[in-house]
Structure 1
Amino acid sequence: MYRIAVLGEYDSIYGFATLGLETFPVSDAEQGSTQLRRLAESGYAVIYVTESMAEQIKKEIERYKTQMLPAIILIPGVSGNTSAGINGVKKSVEQAVGSDILFSGN
């Protein structure tokens, strides 16, 4: 059975534990990179990462872009939404279907 993890700043992720997800609070880029690597190597299928932490560990996240698992999904944190998460999903959909499905020709 696959597991789901949430990685980021404590204040942004602690609520996910009430949903039954495993949370991994980190406070800096070094901790974030190390923890992401551990989670990926431990068989987590989905890893949610706060947008602010993802900004700090871009190189580590890039290592997993071409792999089936884990799926790394960016989520907003308490510091707000940077649109990085939605832009990443939009780009993935564009690659999968060959066009921007959100484009309005009006």
Structure 2
Amino acid sequence: MTSRKNQTTEQRMAAVGDYETVLPFQAVGVEPFIPGNEVTEIRQVLQRLAATHAVVFLMERWFEELRELVDELNDTLPVSIIPIPDQRGSWGVGVRNIKKSVEQAVGMDIFSVQS
């Protein structure tokens, strides 16, 4: 049986984005990270967190900008990088990702199937 301390370490979660987007996550125990708007800095923070956290919530705008890196990290490390909308609203990235994942697993887009 794994100790409680080890479970906490293994299941760390982080939220990466601007202040208004990630601050609410702190209320539920998710570590907020607010890098600058430079792609290089965001990339470095994401790579570091992907190696140490089980789940990383990433602002949709940055998720789209760093799509190749996100896919690589999701494929090579035991991390789930999940897009979250910012204060301006959703870009639909999360829904598209779910549809894509389900289509790959099932072999068809079950969300567009009409009864």
- Does the aligned pair in 2 maintain the 1:9–1:53 contact within 8 Å? no
1:11-42 superposed Cα distances (whole Å, 9 cap, x missing partner): 11111101111111122222210001101122
Is 1:34 aligned to 2:41, yes or no?
Answer: no
> Which structure shows the bigger proportion of residues in helix conformation?
2
- Does the aligned pair in 2 maintain the 1:48–1:73 contact within 8 Å? yes
1:58 alignment partner in structure 2 = 67
1:68 Cα offset (Å) = 5.5
Is 1:88 aligned to 2:88, yes or no?
Answer: no
Give the alignment's TM-score, normalised by structure 2.
0.81
Runs of 4+ in 1 over 4 A off after TM superposition: none
Could you tell me which amino acid in structure 2 is paired with residue 45 of structure 1? A
Measure the CA separation in 2 of the matches of 1:100 and 1:68: 27
Measure the CA separation in 1 of the matches of 2:74 and 2:26: 26
Measure the CA separation in 2 of the matches of 1:64 and 1:71: 8
Gaps spanning 5+ residues in structure 2: where?
A: 1-6
Greater shift, 71-80 or 61-70, is seen at 61-70
Across the aligned residues of Structure 1 and Structure 2, the Cα RMSD in angstroms comes to 1.6
- Does the aligned pair in 2 maintain the 1:3–1:45 contact within 8 Å? yes
Greater shift, 86-95 or 67-76, is seen at 67-76
Q: What's the secondary structure of 1:6's corresponding residue?
A: strand
- Does the aligned pair in 2 maintain the 1:10–1:26 contact within 8 Å? no
Give the alignment's TM-score, normalised by structure 1.
0.88
> Which structure shows the bigger proportion of residues in strand conformation?
1
2:81 alignment partner in structure 1 = 72
Is 1:45 aligned to 2:54, yes or no?
Answer: yes
